[in-house]
Amino acid sequence: MSTIVPAGIDSLDNHVDDEIVGCLSLTEPKSFFLFAGAGSGKTRSLVKALDYIRLNLAHELRLHNRRVAVITYTKAARDEIIRRTQFDPIIAVSTIHAFAWSVIEGFNHDIRDWLRHALAADIDDLRAKEARGRAGSQASIDRQADIAAKTSRLMRLDTITRFVYSPDTDNRGQDSLSHAEVLEISSDFIRTKPAMQDILKDGYPFILVDESQDTNRHIVDALFALQATHPTRIALGLLGDMMQRIYGDGKAKLGEELPPDWIKPVKKLNFRCPRRVIRLLNKIRQATDRQEQVPCSRAIEGSVRMFILPAATPNKPAVEARIRAAMASATGDEKWIEKGGSKDLILEHRMAARRLGFDELFSSLQTFNPFRTGLLDGSLPILSLFSGKILPLIDAREDKFTIARIVRTLSPLLSAKVLRTVVDEAAHLSMVHAAVAALQEKGKANNATFGDLLQEIASSGLFEIPEALYSSIGKETSKLPSEENEEDDRSARDEAIEQFLRVPFDQIRSYVEYVTHQATFDTHQGVKGLEFPRVLVIMDDTEARGFLFKYEKLFSGAGEDTTIASTRRLFYVTCSRAEQSLCLVAYTSNPEGVRNHVIRQGWFDHSEVELAV
């Protein structure tokens, strides 16, 4: 393929930003859908639109106490946009869950009525299924438990005066709303309550939705209805690419059959990927919308390789190390074999835990569902004690300044309240030093477990201990609000904690690296919006044990279905992260068949595919 770059290619998409700016009028707002493929500079266009508003419309907005709503899919994207718009208060940036809660927070009477009808309908549906089902089966037991739980919650509704919610926790209190409920309630209120529509149209003349293809479909439908009802007062701006829709609750066929007065700009340039990767991306999406991207003037040729191995391959981490060495040889890039030189994408967190050495930690806690969110983002309190307090103190070794800073900041033994009661300050400080030394010594032991470190902290009082760990150190657990499934939850929680406390403490280090995205590994879904020089994609349906994505089916040539379509989109997302070179590793029951299929599809040349390494 020719590598000649047309003159002025980098200005190919300049008209797009002008089209968007043309929609941002307070007197004649226009709604738009921006198609922006991978690496096209979607966020840059969004920030340019916001900068135009800040420069030209800020005075008018402030005068009438109005703001611009920007809805993002992740907290990282939210923070990035806030930073790039210089923390301007007229730009209200929030995740979809935070936005949804901001819509309904305080409408406690309306929320209660909604829940009353929803719970009653759910109970009726469950009872109807129970009447048709087989008594004594596990499904029947689960239905009866659901009926009891929902009935109990329905009876308690009138005792709740104020509903609460946090986008960042599991929301398990009696007065809490779940994530799904907040999305459903807010979307219903936006569609059906004129007062709610007035609040939004008067407060937000522009609502811009980033990653709109993955934004909850109920919210998107509600925003469509809001804009259609008030087309001269509000502009809805959707930015995204349906080929990058990887979550099931997004709106299908978003961008198709839009109202005729909507503006539909398209970005064609890819500023991220090398030419060889862009050709692969264009081939992958030929089976869908046939959108094609164009490389920018500075794009290198780059390289792509695919390694296909049997699903039963033993010692896969060692095989993948040899593949990195093969990539270093093929590309002449030694960074492929350096630690952290590539970003390795896996399908499921447990795959990373096995490869990074914290499998016991992960498997002990992920069995208790309320722990999962905090386990995956690093916010679980029982882990934060070890990751945020104990580990830094142990790693400080003999750094007296760092040790003093950690203890002064985090230890209750040096809190103002405690120090006011100390009679002999020198003796107290000596006791604190001894506690630090004992903890560091315990942490250095090769066989030390999380339980060992917990007992050390319990005996010294050096750090506060999360309530969930009280029973593990012989203390009486304080009473929590009564729940209909409290005893079952507490039993499952305590079992998970007991297993965790038997795990070697040294696994915390690789766990922290993983959840802070400093490790080599990340998930296929978790890197959307990110980019890396060298990307290695590991596709292993057997190890992942998932059901939403099946690379085996995608590479088999089977007929199109929803699983193949969603897997193709995920494949596109992972491939489009690469800035220089891309390596694909497929474990399969039919290596020869996969090789023939990917070559027949035109995704790869014969020289780019290897059956073993």
Annotated binding site for ATP: 36-43
CB 537 within 8 A of CB 345: yes
At position 566, the amino acid (one-letter code) is S
Q: Cα–Cα distance between 55 and 360 in angstroms, integer?
A: 53
The annotation places the binding site at: 36-43
Alpha carbons within 13 A on the beta-carbon side of 450: 26
| Count of residues making up the chain | 613
Structure tokens at 362: 């992960």
CB 160 within 8 A of CB 112: yes
CB 276 within 8 A of CB 304: yes
Residue 518 burial (10 A CB sphere; 0-12, 13-18, 19+): exposed
φ, ψ for residue 143, nearest 5 deg? -65, -45
Q: Cα–Cα distance between 168 and 179 in angstroms, integer?
A: 9
CB atoms under 10 Å from CB of 131, counted, come to 8
Whole-Å CA distances, 129 to 132, 258, 406, 408, 567: 5, 38, 56, 59, 33
Q: Which residues, 6 or more positions from 347, have their beta carbon under 8 angstroms from its beta carbon?
A: 523, 524, 538, 539, 540, 541, 543, 544, 546, 549
> In this structure, what DSSP letter does residue 89 have?
T
DSSP state letters, 448-493? -BHHHHHHHHHHH--S---GGGGGGGTPPPPP----TTHHHHHHHH
CB 468 within 8 A of CB 497: yes
Q: Cα–Cα distance between 114 and 111 in angstroms, integer?
A: 5
Q: Cα–Cα distance between 422 and 505 in angstroms, integer?
A: 33
Q: Which residues, 6 or more positions from 553, have their beta carbon under 8 angstroms from its beta carbon?
A: 561, 563, 564, 567
Q: Cα–Cα distance between 495 and 489 in angstroms, integer?
A: 10
Q: What is the 3-class SS of 298-351, one letter each residue?
A: CCCCCEEEEEEEECCCCCHHHHHHHHHHHHHHHHCCHHHHCCCCCEEEECCHHH
Q: Cα–Cα distance between 303 and 608 in angstroms, integer?
A: 9
> In this structure, what DSSP letter does residue 5 have?
P
φ, ψ for residue 574, nearest 5 deg? -65, -45
* Cα dihedral sign, 574-580-586-590: positive
Taking phi first (over 0 means left), then psi (-120 to 50 degrees means alpha), and beta for anything else, what does residue 260 get? alpha
